[in-house]
Each structure stands twice: as structure tokens, then as C-alpha cells.
Chains A and B, each alone.
Chain A
Amino acid sequence: MKTDAIAQIGESGVLARSDFAKLLSTLQDEGYAVVGPTIRGGAVVYAEIDDESELPIGWTDEQEAGTYRLKRSGVALFGYVAGAQSWKPNLFQPQRTLWTARGNADGFVIEAVAEDMPRQAFLGVRACELKAISIQDHVLADPANPESDYVARRQESFIVAVNCAKAGATCFCVSMDAGPGVEAGYDLALTELIDDVRHDFLVEIGSPRGASIAARLPLTTASGGDIDAAEAVVSETAAGMGRTLNTVGLKSLLQDNPDHAQWDDVAARCLSCGNCTFACPTCFCHSTEDVTTIDGEVAERQQRWDSCFSLDFSYIRGGAVRPGVASRYRQWMTHKLANWFDQFGESGCVGCGRCITWCPSGIDITAEAAAIRDSLRED
């Protein structure tokens, strides 16, 4: 039953699997570049896609500390867990030129960098990733000191969220109150409903922009059974978390134990490579560097991602503040799980598990926290 009435915020409709391509084409007709899941380099990554066939249809992944493998499974479009990289690079560019200074007869003039702002539609944003975007908003879109490129990209972005139908072995969003069901911050939210007789998507409208796209889709009215089925998907995923992080008293546990032996223990395994920080959807640290052309006529101020795991990151006059790996891991974990509250009033961790999966050494932030907690209990 086709109806034109499903176009209000908070309303839901059902999109048949056979009509899914219309969601992509409608977004593309609206001028959005659709950035969605696709397979590259042996993993699901988020990249611009033209066509439904580029989605990881019938693929899932198996993640553990330090390992990720794709595997064939079922017919789902969104049957994988979190992608290798979050949406962070699409909103907060790994590197960009902030401004250019050009020499002239009077000295120099500062020129803004003209850049065509991409109009992106993110397809398949998970609850933890939505939460991470909201956390980055608090840092990078702070009205007192906005990161202009981030703000512009954010405003232009259309978000199609997806409720997770599977928890990975490194997932712990439930512990961080960040999933697996999406609650706010999306334009449209999908739940993939698959059983023996159906393959549909429950589509929930979250914004006026979402409503205008939904109005152009062949949605049918969602029944109570459809909504129950979608809720069952989320609650089943919530029950299947591969990891847990006990957050009770976690802030003081970390802040009160800067000299705990566990920091040296993890330092013996830590590569100080920075992969965890660049895979993390909330890590926002960056550096600015000034470069000049060989003729001295043009200078550029460039910004790039930086990491608390690099030695230069804490370099001040006289040397680096964190010369040892133990102090760097402690800085990262304590900032993420404890000091973030003092700085921004919330945790910096969403439990996506990327720092665990994508650590070549397989260091597990939940296990490190548990080791400190357990050692104190034994005392």
C-alpha cells in the first residue's frame, strides 16, 4: 500500500528491499554524493558509491583484538559491524590548508582557501558513530571556536543511520550508552528486517530533510509488527556485545592511578604507532604547520591529524613531555575515559571497538581498564 502520508518527523514507513536503490537515486537526485559501505583492502570502508551493487551485500566481518576478516553471510546490505574507519575523515579532513599568504608590494595578503564543499549523504551510520559525531560536534563545532571546514561539512551532510543487527566481538557500545539503537541526530534511520518471508527496511524520519526524501520513496505504512521486529533487532544486538567496560567509578579509577604498574605493562605491548587514535571516531587532535614555496612568495598554514602517541605531539621548549610509551598510552586512555568529562562533560569513548580491532598489537582498552580495577580489588 503506497501512501503519501509518511513524511512527518517521528513517522515510520517500510521500504521493500527491491526498492532500496531508490533511496540512493533520490539522494543523488538531490545533489548528494552518497558515501556508504563498500569493500576495499579486505575490509568494509566508507567511500563514495554510485550504485547499490557497490554495497557489501551478503558480507559480514569477524573482528577481534588486532584482527579483522571479511566473511560471506546471508543477504543483508548492512550485515557487517563497524567499518574500518569511521565517518571522521569525511567531516574532519586528515589534512587541509587553512589559509595562504601571498607576497605583494606592501608585504603580504592572507587568502582563504577556496574549496567546493561536498554535499555528502552518509549511508549506514551506526549508533556509536552518530554518538561520536555528536562528541566531535562539541569539540569542533563549539561556537566559541569553530573549525569552519568541519562545521560546513557537517551542515551539508545528510545522515542515513542504520540500527545494528549484529554486534562484533570488540563492540561495547552498550557499556558506553552509545548504541546499538540510534536515538537522535539522523535524517533517516533504517532497520534491516530479514526473515524467511521478507527483506525490508523500516525507515524512521528524523528531520525535515529526512521527511522530504522519505516523501519521494515508495514507503508503505509500518505496522505494529514491523516496529516490534525492528526493536527486536536492536535488543538482540544489545544482548550480543563482545566486550563490556565497567564505567562505574572509571574516571577516578584512572585519574587516581597515574603510577599504576599496568601502564608499564601495556607500554611493553604498545607500538606507539598511533593507529588507535586515527581509527577512533572521536580523537580530534591535530597540528598546524607553516610551509613556504621555494621563491618565498607564498606561505601556507596546513592542518593535519596528530596523535598523542607521537613524540613531537608533546614537544615544548626543552623536549617532549611524554618521552615514554607508558605516559602516552596513559594520556590517551585517561583522556578518552576520564579527563574528557572534565573537558567536555561526557566520555570520549563510544564503544565502537576500533581501537581494539585496529591495534596491530591487539591492545584492548576494556581489558586495560579491567586490569587496573581488578588489581585494586585484590589489594
Chain B
Amino acid sequence: MKKANESRPKLAVWKFASCDGCQLSILDLEDELLALASEIEIAYFLEATQTASDGPYDLSLVEGSITTAQDLERIKTVRRQSKALVTIGACATSGGIQALRNFRDVNDFLAVVYADPGYIDTLATSTPIADHVAVDFELRGCPVNKYQLLEVVTAFVFGRKPMIAAHSVCMECKMRGNVCVTVAQGIPCLGPVTQAGCGAICPAYDRGCYGCYGPQDTPAMSAMTDVLDAHGMSRRDIQRILSTFNANATPFLEESQRHGTADD
């Protein structure tokens, strides 16, 4: 138990190439935020406050992927200042939707998007944080589940294992009492190959899972795409459903490429 005069662990929250949605999940912890702030010192969190204190930090939460040379250097600085580093969200854990650039010539995008591409200095790829520095834990999701985020922060504060399951969405879908949308309605669903954590939200509203939590710990990709095919998904649609927020996650990437390229 913590003594009143004991110093609180210092938390830092960092943004790389991302939409900020995962950081916002911290602020979405409306009922728990005061307790969180009283137990840990929020030392660096620009999304929430301009007041920032210097490192080192006990725990760094890192959102976003590496897409620029500057960020590649900055993540190394963050790592050096952090006792523990946890990546949060699809961008930080797999490269995010922006990793679609990895499969095309980034200069083609620049030419289309920017009036004067010469001002843009970017890497050809979007890559997860763990490709560049040691990561202590990866929390999946697009965005992350705020209760899973609280569990991870709490676990690191107390030096215990985070209770975050790596099994399929199907298991939490059945635990929630949903009827399988694939079996009962013929809706293609990525639940069998996708990691749990969302609470099986999409199937609960009669939609197929689209894989925003990335691959489960042992995804059976070939068996999955056989099922998608059997439920009427075209080869192109299979290629595309696996090329979204976790397009760069190896199992999704390889199976997507087995079904053609983005140009098809």
C-alpha cells in the first residue's frame, strides 16, 4: 500500500503518427480519471496539459507509428527516458492505416495530396514502435479499449502481468451471448483471427468484425479466408478487408498479399 509521502510513479504519454484517439481513451476514463491522477503523476501528456516535467519516466505510453526520420530519433530518446514503454493502438503496434503506404510508392501519394511535395520529408514506410526500440507491452485496438488501458497502467504501476487476453474475438462474442453473425446470417467476419479486447462490439450490432485489434495470438489466416470466400467475399474484398488498420501486421499482410495487391 502506498504511503502518503511516497512519490507517485511518473507517467508520460507520447504521440507519433496517429489520430490521437488512443490518447483520448485516457481522458475518456471519466469515472476513473481522478483516481488515476491521484495515484500517478501525469508528467508529460500534451493532449491533456501543456505543463510538462522532465524525465526519466516510470511508464511511457506511446501512440502512433514511425513515419519520419525525426520520429525515428525521437522514439529512441523516449525509450532512454522510460523505465517501461507500452505501445497503445493499431498505429503503434502495427503501423496503422498509414502503413498502406508501405505497399506503394510514397512519392505517388505525395504527388496526389500535396500542392508542393518538395516540402514534405517522410519515410517510405509506416512501422510499429517495436521495430525500432524495445517495447514492454503492446496494447491493441483502434482505438484501444479504455478499461484495458487502465488495466495495463495499473498492472505496470504494481509490477504485475496485465490481464489482457490474446485469444480470438469469437470467445468474448460467445461470452457476451451474441449469436454468430457468420453462421446465422452469412455475414463475413474476421472475429476468428482477430484478438479480443473490444467486447465483440461489431457482431453485437449484426456487423462482421473488421479486425481493428489485429491478429489473435495464433491466427489461422488461410482457414479464415476460405470461410470468407465461402460466404461470398471476392478475392479483392478479402485483400482489402485485411488491409485496414492493421495492414502491416504480418499475418494480415501475408494473407492479404496472397489475395492480390492493392492495385488489383
A296–B156 Cα distance when bound, in Å, is: 12
Residues of A close to B224: CB separation below 8 A: 271
Q: Given the known A-B contacts A275-B170, A295-B38, are A68 and B220 also in contact in the complex, defined by CB atoms under 8 Å?
A: no
A136–B168 Cα distance when bound, in Å, is: 25
A250–B227 Cα distance when bound, in Å, is: 30
**Interface residue? A148 (CB, 8 A):** no
A328–B19 Cα distance when bound, in Å, is: 39
**Contact flags A157-199 to B (C-beta < 8 A → 1, else 0):** 0000000000000000000000000000000000000000000
**Interface residue? A242 (CB, 8 A):** no
**Interface residue? B112 (CB, 8 A):** no
Are A272 and B35 neighbours in the complex by a CB distance under 8 Å?
A: no
- From A112-120, A223-231, A357-365, A371-379, the one touching the partner chain is A357-365
Q: Given the known A-B contacts A272-B218, A305-B175, A360-B227, are A41 and B206 also in contact in the complex, defined by CB atoms under 8 Å?
A: yes
Choose among B168, B184, B226 the residue that contacts A84 (Cβ–Cβ < 8 A): B184
Interface residues of A in 309-339 (CB under 8 A from B): 309-312, 323, 325
**Interface residue? A85 (CB, 8 A):** yes
Find the residue from B158, B177, B185, B224 having the highest chain A CB count within 10 A. Answer: B177
Chain B's closest residue to A67 (CB) is B183
**Contact flags A66-82 to B (C-beta < 8 A → 1, else 0):** 11110000000000000
Residues of B close to A358: CB separation below 8 A: 180, 183
**Interface residue? B36 (CB, 8 A):** yes
**Interface residue? A217 (CB, 8 A):** no
Are B220 and A272 neighbours in the complex by a CB distance under 8 Å?
A: yes
A297–B151 Cα distance when bound, in Å, is: 15
**Contact flags B3-36 to A (C-beta < 8 A → 1, else 0):** 0000000000000000000000000000010011
Interface residues of B in 106-120 (CB under 8 A from A): none
Q: Given the known A-B contacts A41-B206, A84-B184, are A325 and B150 also in contact in the complex, defined by CB atoms under 8 Å?
A: no
**Interface residue? A268 (CB, 8 A):** yes
**Interface residue? B179 (CB, 8 A):** yes
- From B69-77, B133-141, B186-194, B238-246, the one touching the partner chain is B186-194
Residues of B close to A18: CB separation below 8 A: none
Residues of B close to A309: CB separation below 8 A: 167-168
- From A7-15, A205-213, A286-294, the one touching the partner chain is A286-294
**Interface residue? B39 (CB, 8 A):** yes
**Interface residue? A218 (CB, 8 A):** no
A269–B224 Cα distance when bound, in Å, is: 8
Are A269 and B223 neighbours in the complex by a CB distance under 8 Å?
A: yes
Give the distance to chain B from A24, nearest Cβ to Cβ, in Å.
Answer: 22
**Interface residue? B182 (CB, 8 A):** yes
A305–B180 Cα distance when bound, in Å, is: 17
Find the residue from A40, A268, A275, A360 having the highest chain B CB count within 10 A. Answer: A360
Choose among B32, B163, B185 the residue that contacts A294 (Cβ–Cβ < 8 A): B32
Interface residues of A in 79-128 (CB under 8 A from B): 84-85, 89, 94-95, 103
Are B186 and A67 neighbours in the complex by a CB distance under 8 Å?
A: yes
Give the distance to chain B from A323, nearest Cβ to Cβ, in Å.
Answer: 8
**Interface residue? B217 (CB, 8 A):** yes
Residues of B close to A69: CB separation below 8 A: 184
Are B153 and A294 neighbours in the complex by a CB distance under 8 Å?
A: yes
Chain B's closest residue to A65 (CB) is B183
Are A271 and B193 neighbours in the complex by a CB distance under 8 Å?
A: yes
Are B35 and A43 neighbours in the complex by a CB distance under 8 Å?
A: no
A42–B151 Cα distance when bound, in Å, is: 35
**Contact flags A268-308 to B (C-beta < 8 A → 1, else 0):** 11111111001100000000011111111100001011010
Classify the secondary structure of B's interface with A.
helix
Chain B, interface size category, equals: 35 or more
Q: Given the known A-B contacts A294-B157, A296-B2, A360-B192, are A41 and B178 also in contact in the complex, defined by CB atoms under 8 Å?
A: yes
Are A95 and B227 neighbours in the complex by a CB distance under 8 Å?
A: no
Q: Given the known A-B contacts A41-B206, A272-B220, A294-B154, are A310 and B183 also in contact in the complex, defined by CB atoms under 8 Å?
A: no
**Interface residue? B166 (CB, 8 A):** yes
Residues of B close to A34: CB separation below 8 A: none
Chain A's closest residue to B180 (CB) is A358
Give the distance to chain A from B233, nearest Cβ to Cβ, in Å.
Answer: 13
A12–B43 Cα distance when bound, in Å, is: 74
Are B218 and A274 neighbours in the complex by a CB distance under 8 Å?
A: no
Find the residue from A310, A311, A357 having the highest chain B CB count within 10 A. Answer: A310
Chain B's closest residue to A312 (CB) is B166
Are A41 and B171 neighbours in the complex by a CB distance under 8 Å?
A: no
Are B171 and A43 neighbours in the complex by a CB distance under 8 Å?
A: no
Are A85 and B36 neighbours in the complex by a CB distance under 8 Å?
A: no
Residues of A close to B193: CB separation below 8 A: 271, 273
Interface residues of A in 228-281 (CB under 8 A from B): 268-275, 278-279
Are B184 and A42 neighbours in the complex by a CB distance under 8 Å?
A: yes
Give the distance to chain B from A346, nearest Cβ to Cβ, in Å.
Answer: 25
4 A-B pairs with the lowest CB-CB distances in the bound complex, closest first: A41-B179, A278-B174, A273-B192, A271-B192
Chain A residues near B (Cβ < 8 Å):
40-43, 45, 66-69, 84-85, 89, 94-95, 103, 268-275, 278-279, 289-297, 302, 304-305, 307, 309-312, 323, 325, 357-361
Q: A103-B1, A325-B220 are in contact. List 13 more A-B contacts (CB 8 A).
A: A45-B179, A67-B183, A84-B180, A85-B174, A271-B192, A271-B223, A271-B227, A273-B170, A274-B167, A289-B163, A295-B2, A304-B175, A307-B167
What are 5 A-B residue pairs whose CB atoms fall within 8 Å in the complex?
A42-B184, A43-B184, A271-B227, A278-B174, A358-B183
